[in-house]
């Protein structure tokens, strides 16, 4: 029985060791991808800041009064939530954070008697809301680990069309902002309409009221420039959100895989101790059986029908698999 238990434990240890190799490899891969994702986030910051500054100055100059992207609705009855998550799992609570945040906003709208629609970006968030029967619009996915500007343009064109056609009255982004490799936070950022407060702070944050503005001369007129820049501004905002989400996903994957590797190491140690204890018990039991058998043969307590000459005793011991010395 002990031998069977030892074989079972050896099999479990081999299985956990194989899993540990996989999680360790995934941890290293995610760690290498974090660096590239951070570089992409940092490279996109100057463009995002500059286009935000230009749009803010154009809006301050009185441009875009008739632009549909700047014209807010008197009554917001339908809100579009662009939920950005991952295409894969094994990343800890990354996907669940975006799902919970979006779900909380939806429940608040339902309680207030308002309508909603979800634009899922990422296969995991799409499956989550589709399985639970939420109202979904067009889904985007397949690029959560390495988004491109073309992906941001496709999402931007779609949500702008939803807003300008009157299907929704407001568009908001729900994604995970990358602060550092050890810190990410789920944020909710307004995207459309582009109010003065939204544009002033960039990335959906309200800027200070006394923020300095530049003195520019625009050619052609500010309204024409703003009309051409607003779609690019929306794309830049979405692209920044996608890059932040990708970096956050890699960071969450690295942490989750490191935790899994550490847990596998602890499980291997625990199983090894149990297996060694079982093997030691098995060896001790075998020794006790051999010693007991030898003592029984030596003391003559066992009735032996065979002749008691020395050669016969030796042959009997060998037949029973034991070892004894004949005096």
Q: Residue 249: which of 158, 164, 123 has the closest Cα?
A: 123
User: Is CATH 3.30.830.10 the classification given to domain 17-205+218-264?
Assistant: no
109-159: per-residue pLDDT in tens? 999 999 999 999 999 999 999 999 999 999 999 998 889 999 999 999 999
Question: Which DSSP symbol is given to 304?
Answer: -
Q: With 80 as the cut, is the pLDDT of residue 218 above it?
A: no
CA distance 16 to 184: 30
CA distance 226 to 222: 6
CA distance 190 to 53: 17
CA distance 159 to 173: 11
Measured from the Cβ of residue 275, the count of other Cβ atoms closer than 10 Å reads: 18
Q: Residue 99: which of 78, 127, 80, 138 has the closest Cα?
A: 127
Q: Could you tell me the two tokens for 227?
A: 């009309």
Q: With 90 as the cut, is the pLDDT of residue 201 above it?
A: no
Measured from the Cβ of residue 182, the count of other Cβ atoms closer than 10 Å reads: 8
Active site residues: 91
Measured from the Cβ of residue 100, the count of other Cβ atoms closer than 10 Å reads: 13
Q: Please tell me the pTM assigned to this model.
A: 0.77
């Amino acid at each position: 029985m002990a031998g069977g238990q030892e074989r079972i434990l050896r099999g479990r240890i081999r299985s956990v060791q194989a899993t540990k190799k996989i999680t360790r490899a995934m941890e290293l891969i995610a760690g290498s991808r974090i660096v590239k994702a951070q570089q992409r986030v940092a490279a996109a910051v100057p463009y995002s800041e500059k286009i935000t500054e230009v749009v803010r100055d154009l809006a301050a100059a009185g441009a875009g009064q008739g632009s549909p992207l700047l014209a807010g609705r008197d009554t917001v009855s339908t809100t579009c939530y662009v939920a950005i998550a991952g295409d894969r799992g094994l990343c800890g609570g990354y996907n669940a954070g975006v799902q919970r945040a979006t779900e909380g906003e939806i429940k608040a709208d339902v309680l207030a008697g308002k309508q909603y629609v979800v634009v899922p970006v990422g296969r995991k968030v799409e499956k989550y809301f589709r399985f639970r029967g939420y109202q979904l619009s067009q889904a985007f996915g397949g690029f959560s680990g390495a988004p491109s500007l073309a992906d941001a343009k496709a999402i931007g064109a779609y949500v702008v069309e939803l807003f300008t056609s009157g299907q929704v009255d407001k568009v908001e982004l729900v994604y995970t902002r990358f602060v550092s490799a050890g810190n990410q936070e789920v944020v909710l950022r307004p995207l459309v309409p582009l109010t003065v407060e939204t544009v002033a702070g960039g990335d959906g944050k309200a800027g200070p009221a006394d923020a300095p503005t530049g003195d520019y001369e625009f050619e052609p007129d500010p309204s024409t420039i703003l009309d051409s820049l607003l779609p690019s501004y929306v794309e830049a905002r979405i692209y920044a959100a996608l890059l932040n989400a990708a970096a956050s996903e890699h960071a969450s994957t690295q942490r989750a895989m490191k935790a899994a590797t550490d847990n596998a190491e602890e499980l291997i140690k625990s199983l090894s101790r149990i297996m060694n204890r079982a093997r030691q018990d098995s060896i001790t039991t075998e020794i006790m059986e051999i010693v007991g058998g030898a003592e029984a043969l030596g003391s003559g307590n066992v009735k032996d029908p065979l002749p008691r000459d020395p050669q016969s005793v030796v042959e009997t011991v060998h037949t029973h698999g034991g070892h004894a010395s004949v005096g």
